[in-house]
Structure 1
Amino acid sequence: MAFYRTTAILLLLCAALPCRADQLTADELRFFETKIRPVLIRECYGCHSNEAGNVRGGLRLDTKELMLIGGSAGPAVVPGDVEQSWLYNAITHQDFVMPPKRKLSPTVIDDFRQWIEMGAPDPRASNIVEIRSTISEADVQQARETFWAYKKPVDQTPPDVKDIHWPRTDIDRFVLAKLEQADLQPTADAEEYKVLRRICFDLIGLPPTPEQITFFTEKWENDPDQAVSYVVDKLLEKKQFGERWGRHWLDVVRFAESTGREVNMTYPHAWRYRDYVIDSFNDDKPFDQFVQQQIAGDLLPAKTDEKWAENLVATTFLAIGPKNINEQNRVQFAADLVDEQIDATTRVFLGTSVACARCHDHKFDAIPQTDYYAMAGIFRNMTTYFGNPPSDFGNFSAAQAKQNSSLMILPIDDPNPYDKHYTKLELQSLRDEITEKMGEVKQLRRANMGDGNAANAQRNRIRLNNELATLSNKLAVVDKNGIPRSYCMGVQERRSPTNAKLLLRGEIDQAAQVVERGFPQVLCSVLPTIDNQSSGRLELASWIASEQNPLAARVMVNRIWQYMIGQGIVTSTENFGTTGQPPSHEELLDHLARRFVQSGWSIKSVVRDIATSRVYRMSTTFDSQSHQYDPDNALLWRANPRRLDAEAIRDAMLSISGEINSDRPRGSEVAQAGYTRVQGGVLGNPRDIARRAFGTVARNSRSTRGMQRGRMDRSLQDVARAVTGQLDQENSKFRSIYLPIVRDEEPRSLDVFDFADSSAIIGTRESSNTANQALYMMNNRFVIQQSNVFADRVLQQQTTPTKQLEFAFLLAYGRPPTSGERSAATAFIRQFAPTTSYRSRGQKTMSAFCQSLFASAEFRYID
């Protein structure tokens, strides 16, 4: 089949489209040929045509099509709209000066204004070619009928097994049948404390408490099945479930609180989406509704303002990806934004990378390039809001941020908790300061034209732009009375939807034929229709979250299985295509997918089914014969030992020490910082932050006068070092999901333990065992701090050395120590400070012992 080839051939029809001059009136044609074309040739083609080679600003004016597409500043001409036409802006010397060094005559400028207002009639050929796909309709149909992932899941009858006493659920029958076919036996059940620890970490991300251990052990002795079922139901009701499983989802949807890339600007309202995800998992929101809200929440009906606000916040999914806001070409930025949104939507919900077809037909799957641009037509008809709302003076950006955006206003009163209320006097002071800075900008322009000191002018321009951006951002988040408005990130539909043009090699200045909006054909047995007045985004969301889509349910239950069992039935969680891994248990995957849909798309029901299965409670005992036959444990002859992820390790230390704060913090550190640039782990300019902190120190220090005499720089350095840890939040006691996640500046406590790359779609985290992790557990201030508090808890609650050791083991490992461990621990405590009495060395010794428990492999692993 053609779509399995590793290379694709693009066949071009060299005949250009007709120039459509016959659609112009005689007067329009005459006006263009006599008044517009001669000026373009004489004044513009030297720098902005195909003959110019590397055209300036990416702008070409020698064809109608490329002129409308525009360059780095946007469309050169917007028919009927003089204000939005950058060509007119340039020839009138507003923000651009074209031609350079002189201005066109008033008559020529008036001709261009008149031409744009009449609709910019232009008879020039667009030189558009049509790209034909090598993937035929027959190829698509064959893939749809033969490849397992493109066929709808069907109800599966659980297979018969020889050992009828081992299975507890249908899941067990599917797994055991595969093992029996291979003459393999499942391992025995794990010990009860290991099962409980596994359930607690998998469902809520926290270790079991001593009370839970005692209760579960008693129930296990009477009826293990009932004990597991009872604990699972209780944990599913806890709010910590949403925090644990919400973090899994945030991995997949590339959640972060900044743009990343070269100019890393914050997302002060990203926390709203984080909280929305946590609440959705706690409420067991039907997954089909969860999907529709994130793709098209702004288009869904809502009976209340609160529901409408929830739907808007959900669309943050489409706005929260990484962005190169330093991109100078607005057309390129828009194309890359749509590409990122298509990639996220298809990989997250469909396990398929349609974005691979941006530049050519998909090299392996039956996805022609036209399918990509059919989806691009859907996503290009919305506005993405991710930046900072404009103030009355306009939306100034940091000098390095070439692309900016506004935010959506919520229909409810729910402002960012850190947004400041301004008095009328403070508002006026801000406005006056902005006016003063804008005056400096004008003076700078005039001075630069006179003395020609370009380097100095550039430095001053950057400084003023940054200062204006800071002042504008303060005004942007409040109304005219100084009261904070309620904003969120997200998307909104545009009016009058249009189709996208296919781009040769994905290049914005190589437009080909128009492609009608639509969905990937290979996934649709019947192609849904899109109304001419609709972008198709609501239809896309409805189709993805429906039984007609063969992939959404499979992809999600495969993710749940992976988080519970340790590896997916399809191990390539974001690639269900021909280059992905085939399912190890295809019938089981279909069974789970059908159960998922029939349960009302309930995530908790799937979690419950897996957690109460016999498969889930197997031990990790190694068997050489089974390993020789199945070294990857694909058939699940034993449980997979797993290292805890970064959040669970940090949260476990807080839980064991007793310092964990179970309340949800409102907002985040990024919300407090506002819309600003992240530099070297600091939210904002490090020196400015240090100076503000220094001012506070100086007012409260006896050595203020000494600092003013020469120690100011050293003090600033000390304060700067202190604030550089603001993103690590080492003194915070809330759960790790609430730590600020800034791209390229993740907290050390998460990063060292393989935290998900927040700029990528991560369905499966890496799990390493490195020297850096050991060094972190030995030397990090947070670990030492929690070890000290852990020791205090042990010493306060237990009075004898024997009970203290047992209690410490119970908290850390969920079990009492063995006799060998008790002897080793006792010897360590005696030898730690042999010259002092036990009573005097108690806290310090116990802290070292508790830290050794944290640093052990058993603490970091689920057995």
Structure 2
Amino acid sequence: MDVLIRTTQIGLIVMAIAFWGSADAAEVTPEQADFFETKIRPVLVKRCYGCHSNESGNARGGLRLDTRELTHIGGSSGPAIVPGDLDGSLLFNAMTHQDFVMPPRSEMLPQAVIDDFRKWIEMGAPDPRSGAVTEIRSSIDEQQIQQAKAEFWAYQKPTRRQPPKADGDWSLTDIDRWIEAELAENQLAPSSDASAYTVARRLYFDLIGLPPTVRQIADFQKSWDRDPTAAIAAAADQLLQSPQFGERWGRHWLDVARYAESSGRGVNLTYPQAWRYRDYVIDSFNSDKPYDRFVQEQLAGDLLPVSSDEQWAENLIATGFLALGPKDVNQRNGTQFAADLVDEQIDVTTRVLIGTSIACARCHDHKFDPIPQTDYYAMVGIFGNMSTYFGVPASSIGIARGLQTQQTSNLLRMPIDDPNPFEKAVSPAELESMRERLATASSELREARINQRRPGATPVPISRIVRMTGEIEYLSAKLGGHDPQGNPISFCMGVQAKEQPKEVRLLVRGEIDQPAQVVPPGFPRVLSDEPASIADGSTGRLEFARWITDRDNPLTARVMVNRIWQHLLGQGIVASPENFGSTGSAPTHPELLDHLAVEFVESGWSVKSVIRQIVTSRVYRIDSEFDRSSFEKDPENKLLWRANMRRLDAEAIRDAMLFVSGKIDLDRPGASLVAESGYMRVRDGNLVNLFDLSGNASRGGMGAAMGGSMGMAAGAMQDRGSNQRRGRFGRNRQRGGISQTLLPTPGTDRLDMSTAEYRSVYLPVVRDEVPRALAVFDFAEPSMVVGQRESSSTPNQALFLMNNPFVIAQADALAQRVSEEAKTPAARLRLAFELSFGRSPNATEVSAIRRYLSDFEDVQSNRGRALAMTALCQSLLASADFRYLD
């Protein structure tokens, strides 16, 4: 059988993982066995085993047909047989010469043979061939699980305890009482309060990621002089209502959600619809969406009841959490791709939400935590029963030079009119012209392919096949991406549940061709008081989302309040935010962690409520002053005897430069650069047309060949009218979605954002090509769950601050602003400091700067003064005072 490369639907691939429950040998009746032995096996042996069997030593395309299990798993294109599903059975597809041809270079098999295979598949593909199933016995028994639940802190429900009584008047809140008690027990004293100036900068950067102005600091100082606690509370309330709050705290979530706008891995293809999830996260934090609802929408938004199209669209976008991860779209084996996809989804879900790496049990029992391998595959039974729509285009049967996209996906059609802002409407006449050209091009391609199989015929050049296929995909995408009136249709990334859930088998050592016993869907037992209750016919994903957010779940609230504490205090109560297991860090203040978790749930899962509670505590406002005696007792400051000195993160540094220069644009930009560029390949900092036959990062390629620049999208667009789901409010909604739209784009776009002036959270996050202004200051690796960023100090950072065009542009803008708003040298110097640091220079700084400026030649001329002021402003932007809090 000649296995060609073709677009594989993810929903079909995942079915291959779950097939084993449908055709066990024990279920095959004598009549079915006789049919297989007389009608099916002889054809397989004679016509297929020569290329696809273990005995022949050949498995062309990764496909073997000599066992039941391997026949169902299939090869690089997906499952060869899906019981009861002719369309999903690629073996039948090949026998009937649809997308494949089997046997290769031969006439179609006799109709009687084809009819036998049709009947066999429709009856459930009964297959009596020996396929002995191994049963893996776990080394983790029920007694060990129960012992861990009884003894390990993280597996026990958080409980509210009475805070210790404090001596003196240092403690203001219950948070402080827990902190003070630990300090006293270790013979440590808390540092004194920081200045109003320091606390104001701390508060503004922590809550909105921007510096306070001189006026805001002065107002805060006046309020502080009357009542520090009231001053902080009032400022916090104001900042929590600012739209910049969601941009700051939404970025924290995007770090752990491994948000990015491309697939990464070997073939780095763009995700032009990823920005919708980014905006959803920012809006959720701004509206203080209850965290339990926020989580449920991301895990099972497609299954939650809704009351409007707008809510339904928001839920679909939220499930982008499961679709955004890195993907090896170059993986030839579709079943392996699907197994890896589910593994990545389980990993990000469990590490982000419950601080537990369940994915460690994919190949064997967890080495350190009481999580048997069966618990992992119980979750595969939940996550494997959904289709993931991540929107990576087809690659013209994989033969475009330098590009081999084996695994592709559609997108979800949204129920509201909210198209990509860069999509353009087309006229009805243009639509009709494209339909006519599509019909002609499709006919020409069919003839070319038939001609290639004719003996003695002149072969059609591969380049011509590629160009014709590309044109068909372009036209199909354009037509499918617009309604009959020519208006663009709205799409998003996300997931959808399968119509009929499938059970799964455990895989020995995680190998897809070594199935063991059936594992029913379920939740990690060490975190569950009762077995998972999953209704018949349900995938279990909605039940899982509700279990995760149940107020009795021992980890969900703890993990989130620990993240909040870390972002405000510089380190978590649990220093390993994604690992609350036995190899993770023990909590420094376990009672405080429980207190915050209980308060979080009782507040209605309000993130803003927890933030307000922390920033109004005494410990939040203490100084970072060094004390040798305290340092010797607690060198890592685990007990918080002083504030942690923190460098601003990458976004805050860039945004602060734009803010003080007066150039920042606080309006949300439309979509993103990636959305504007469309479906492209990322290579060497460039966005390249997917079908650039030259293999170079240059304009032209397929776009030029077709009379214009373009980005390629998925194969032929088709409206899956049968794949719909009726909403609670009576409207039909698309479930499976249509193949993604196509955006006219340049052949190449440089991912250089040095001239962008909007906030950093809106910069394109392309895997392996993060903007320099972010990457140099330890931006979160977008292919990983990053709960705590590194904070380094490197020569590259100094070079960036000295030479990068963005920094120079902001220094020049700041110098111009200072020169325009102040008239004397002394006033300009003072204003430069006030804009940069929120304070005036001291006498030492004034003296040093005057000496520095005197070194400039011709400082009395207009040009000399301008150069000197720009150099001064750049030195302020590059200073430690600008980059560090405290």
Note if 1:683 corresponds to 2:687: yes
1:677 is paired with a residue whose SS is: strand
- How big is each residue's C-alpha offset from its partner over 1:784-822, in whole Å with a ceiling of 9 and x where there is no partner? 111111111111111111121111111111221111101
- Alpha-carbon distance change, 582 to 781 in structure 1, aligned in 2, over 3 angstroms: same
How far off is 1:367 after superposition? 0.4
Write the letter of the residue equivalent to 2:227: D
SS of equivalent to 1:485: coil
TM-fit CA distance, 1:264 = 1.6
Q: CA RMSD in A?
A: 2.9
Distance 1:397-1:535 versus aligned 2 partners, 3 A rule? farther
Residue in 1 that maps onto 2:739: none
Map 1:377-526 → 2, pairs under 5 A: 377-387=381-391, 400-439=404-443, 441-442=445-446, 444-446=448-450, 448-449=452-453, 457-526=461-530
1:594–1:323 CA distance, 2 compared to 1 (3 A): same
| 1:337 counterpart (326, 334, 341) | 341
More helix per residue:
1
TM-score, length basis structure 2: 0.88
The 5 A counterparts of 1:720-799 are 726-799=750-823
Partner of 1:859: 882
CA distance in 2 between counterparts of 1:696 and 1:633 reads: 64
Q: Does 1:149 align with 2:154?
A: yes
Deviations 1:541-593 (A, max 9, x none): 11111112100000000000110011111111101011111111111111111
- Say whether the 8 Å CA contact 1:622–1:638 is kept in structure 2: yes
**Residue in 2 aligned with 1:179?**
183
Q: Which residue number corresponds to residue 843 of structure 1?
A: 866
Task: Verify the 8 A CA contact 2:260 2:274 in the aligned structure 1.
Answer: yes
Aligned-pair identity in percent equals 57
Q: What is the distance in 2 between the residues matched to 1:756 and 1:222?
A: 40
CA distance in 2: counterparts of 1:690 and 1:513, whole angstroms: 50
Alignment of 1:218-237 (within 5 A): 218-237=222-241
After TM superposition, give the deviation of residue 446 of structure 1 in Å: 4.8
How far apart in 2 are the matches of 1:216 and 1:558? 28
Correspondence for 2:118 among 102, 106, 113: 113
Mean Cα displacement is larger for which, 504-513 or 679-688? 679-688
Q: How does 1:33-44 map to 2 (within 5 A)?
A: 33-44=37-48
CA deviations 1:749-800 (Å, max 9, x no partner) are 1111111111111001111111111111111111111111111111111111
The offset of 1:649, in angstroms, is 0.6
* Alignment counterpart, residue 128 of structure 2, candidates 98, 112, 123: 123
| 1:161 matched to 2:166 | yes
* Contact 2:22/2:124, CA 8 A, preserved across alignment: no
Match for residue 734 of structure 2? none
In 1, are the aligned partners of 2:573 and 2:587 still within 8 Å (CA)? Answer: yes
What CA deviation, in whole Å up to 9, does each residue of 1:312-353 have, x standing for no partner?
111110111111111122211111111111011101100001
User: Residues 34-73 of structure 1: matches in 2 within 5 Å?
Assistant: 34-53=38-57, 55-73=59-77
Structure 2 counterpart of 1:845, one-letter code: A
Indicate whether 1:359 and 2:363 are aligned: yes
746-755 vs 72-81, which deviates more? 72-81
Partner of 2:719: none
- What SS is found at the alignment partner of 1:518? coil
Shift of 1:450: 6.5
Matches of 1:501 and 1:461, distance apart in 2: 41
Distance 1:468 1:207 in 2: 52
Distance in 2 (CA, whole Å) between partners of 1:775 and 1:661 is: 26
Count residues with an aligned counterpart.
Answer: 821
Amino acid at match of 1:300: L
> Partner of 2:732 in structure 1?
none
Task: Decide whether the 8 Å contact of 1:395 with 1:472 is kept in 2.
Answer: no
Contact 1:396/1:469 (CA < 8 Å) preserved in 2? Answer: no
Cα-to-partner distance string for 1:593-637 (whole Å, 9 max, x where unaligned): 111111111111111111111111111111111111111111111
Q: Is the 8 A contact 2:393 2:408 kept in 1?
A: no
CA distance in 2, matches of 1:124, 1:860: 68
2:261 touches 2:274 (CA, 8 Å); kept in 1?
yes
Of 568, 575, 579, the match for 2:572: 568
Aligned to 1:828: 852
Contact kept? 1:264, 1:677, Cα under 8 Å: yes
Asked if 1:205 is matched to 2:209, the reply is yes
Distance 1:692 1:324, change over 3 A: closer
Partner of 1:684, secondary structure, is strand
Q: Secondary structure at the match of 1:560?
A: helix
Residues in 1 aligned to 2:267 and 2:392: alpha-carbon distance in whole angstroms: 15
State how far apart, in whole Å, the 1-side matches of 2:873 and 2:123 are: 79
Residue ranges of structure 1 left out of the alignment (5+ in a row):
1-15, 698-721
Give the 3-state SS of the residue equivalent to 1:688 in structure 2. coil
1:34 to partner: Cα distance: 1.5
Is the 8 Å Cα contact of residues 387 and 675 (structure 1) preserved in structure 2?
no
CA contact (8 A) 2:25 2:126 kept: no
Aligned to 2:247, what secondary structure does the other structure show? Answer: helix
Aligned positions of 1:92-111 closer than 5 A: 92-103=96-107, 104-111=109-116
Partner of 2:742: none
**How far apart are residue 676 of structure 1 and its match?**
2.7
Q: Please give the TM-score of this superposition, normalised by the length of structure 1.
A: 0.90
Q: Residue 859 of structure 2 contacts residue 865 of structure 2 at CA under 8 Å; is this kept in 1?
A: no
Deviates more, 1:393-402 or 1:514-523: 393-402
Partner of 1:816: 840
Q: Deviations over 1:328-386 (max 9, x none)?
A: 22211111111111011101100001011111111110000000010000011111111
- The counterpart of 1:578, out of the listed 561, 582, 587, is 582
- Alignment partner of 1:621 is 2:625: yes
In 1: Cα distance, 2:789 partner to 2:775 partner: 12
Distance 2:642 2:45 in 1: 75
Q: How far is the alpha carbon of 1:849 from its aligned partner? A: 0.5
Q: Distance in 2 between matches of 1:471 and 1:250?
A: 35
- Give the deviation of 1:126 after TM superposition: 2.2
Deviations 1:54-93 (A, max 9, x none): 6222222222232222222222122333333211222333
Distance 1:677 1:470 in 2: 16
